[in-house]
Structure 1
Amino acid sequence: MSDYKGQYSSAPTVDLAYDEGLRKFMLGVYNKMGLGLVVTGLLAAVVAFVPEVTALFFQRTATGGMGYTPLGMGVAFAPLVILLGAGFVMRNPTTTSTAILYWLIVGLIGLSMGVLGIVYTGQSIATTFFVTAAAFGALSLFGYTTKKDLSGMRTFLLMATIGLIIAVLVNMFLIKSGITQLVISAIGVLIFAGWTAYDTQNLKRTYYALGGNEAGMAMATNYGALSLYIDFINMFQFLLAFMGVRRD
């Protein structure tokens, strides 16, 4: 699970009326996010179904389950480390650096998600993906069209996300409870549903705050695609805990 909420999270409140430039900006964000999901799926498929690659990232545990190799563990946690570190390292971001950040995160998450193809059936993964896409689309549309100011949600969502990350780690390494994981997953779905609506509206605010600055727009496209990509990926993984059918 990863979280990043971008460079422009405090853009001012503005009139969010329809604008053709805004439409093109948002389409650019969605297109880049969609391409990122395609790359993620391809990388995950390679890791899951090419035995030589699978062996680099995953191994059978003593109980017969599937666990990470040291390399796999590093890849799994690298996106979170990079995202947290990016806020300190990228003091003066550029279009190139934000694009590199986006594709680096997409690549690492794609590699780490190969385990899903090993653990769950392809049909349940596909079903969960389409359910996630429908939910994401509805939530993003709500964030885009609502007149309600969602900016007040940010602090709550940030604190909830931090708590969620801690809960996931504690359950993964200490509690190891299936029931606890289901509860965490349910909460995770709700949290990233909130982030999806918030991030979509915040992208509109960012567009108007930039006032047509082309370099700023390019960076905002990268940051926006990253935020929405992470919202989608996290919702998908948490929903898979409920909808996924494990392989025999």
Structure 2
Amino acid sequence: MYSPNGTYTDSAPITITNTFFRKVYLWMTAGLAVTALASFMMLSSAAAQQMIFGNRVVFYGLIFAELGLVIAMSAAINRISAATATLMFLGYSALNGITFAAIFLIYTNSSIASAFLVTAGTFGAMSLYGYATKRDLTGLGSFMFMGLVGIIIASVVNIFLQSEMIYWVTSYIGVLVFVGLTAYDTQKIKLIGQAGFANEQERHKAAILGALRLYLDFINLFLMLLRIMGNRR
């Protein structure tokens, strides 16, 4: 289309990308809302807390179920329907909310609120950077992924070592990793939106998968900041 000054501009791809991004963020927000609701329901039931947190088999079973849902959804996204992808994402968000309720039993409400506000501001700033920057963040994403693998390995080892130094080192590095991944994932989602989709089903599934990636970045950044900022009860 022509702009008022007579130059040719093509705003259609930008409009399509922005519409796709709004859908991604709406679903990410929906996932966070489901997580918050599931946590609230857990906290309002002493029987549910006893069943989940009083039994390690049940608790770790839910953790593995969450991990399985994420892996299954990411691996099968091209074969499943958009409705199935949506249900899997919301199911994961609900399961995460159930296990997430534990933080309200460990940390004070004020420190949780503070960590959430810092997370929201940091996430928003880095996501905006990832969307607006012209720099290719592929190298950053690869580096952050290696850092994530290192954090996972160190955290597993620390289950046995119980080292306070490892705990704090992984917490601070974790903040940097998920800050970087937020920018990288945002740029990647933007490029996916610019490439376009064959149909509305594919567009919806891509939005759900994008929402999952940003949801994971947000949640993990929040947990790392809470480990640093949080005051225990």
Give the TM-score, by structure 2 length: 0.88
Which residue in 2 is equivalent to 1:26?
21
Which residue in 1 is equivalent to 2:58?
71
Does structure 2 conserve the Cα–Cα contact (< 8 Å) formed by 1:210 and 1:216?
Answer: no
Greater displacement, 204-213 / 119-128: 204-213
- Displacement of 1:95: 1.0
Which residue in 1 is equivalent to 2:135?
148
- Residue 134 (structure 1) aligned with residue 129 (structure 2): no
| Separation in 2, partners of 1:170, 1:91 | 35
Does structure 1 conserve the Cα–Cα contact (< 8 Å) formed by 2:154 and 2:166?
Answer: no
How is 1:69-108 mapped onto 2 (pairs within 5 angstroms)?
Answer: 69-90=56-77, 92-108=79-95
Which residue in 2 is equivalent to 1:229?
215
| Separation in 1, partners of 2:68, 2:144 | 19
| Separation in 2, partners of 1:93, 1:209 | 21
Q: Deviations over 1:192-246 (max 9, x none)?
A: 1111001111111101212563222111110010000000000000100011111
Which residue in 1 is equivalent to 2:37?
42
Q: CA RMSD in A?
A: 2.2
Does structure 2 conserve the Cα–Cα contact (< 8 Å) formed by 1:48 and 1:114?
Answer: yes
- Displacement of 1:17: 10
Gaps of 5+ in 1: 1-15, 60-67
- Displacement of 1:81: 3.0
Give the partner amino acid of 1:198.
Y
Which residue in 2 is equivalent to 1:120?
107
Task: Give me the identity figure in percent.
Answer: 37
Task: Tell me how many residue pairs correspond in the alignment.
Answer: 224
Gaps of 5+ in 2: 1-10
Which residue in 1 is equivalent to 2:8?
none
Give the TM-score, by structure 1 length: 0.83
| Separation in 1, partners of 2:39, 2:179 | 24
Give the partner amino acid of 2:20.
F
| Separation in 2, partners of 1:206, 1:91 | 14
- Displacement of 1:177: 2.3
- Displacement of 1:91: 5.4
Does structure 2 conserve the Cα–Cα contact (< 8 Å) formed by 1:36 and 1:106?
Answer: yes
| Separation in 2, partners of 1:82, 1:33 | 16
| Separation in 2, partners of 1:152, 1:214 | 31
SS of the residue 1:152 aligns to = helix
| Separation in 1, partners of 2:84, 2:34 | 19
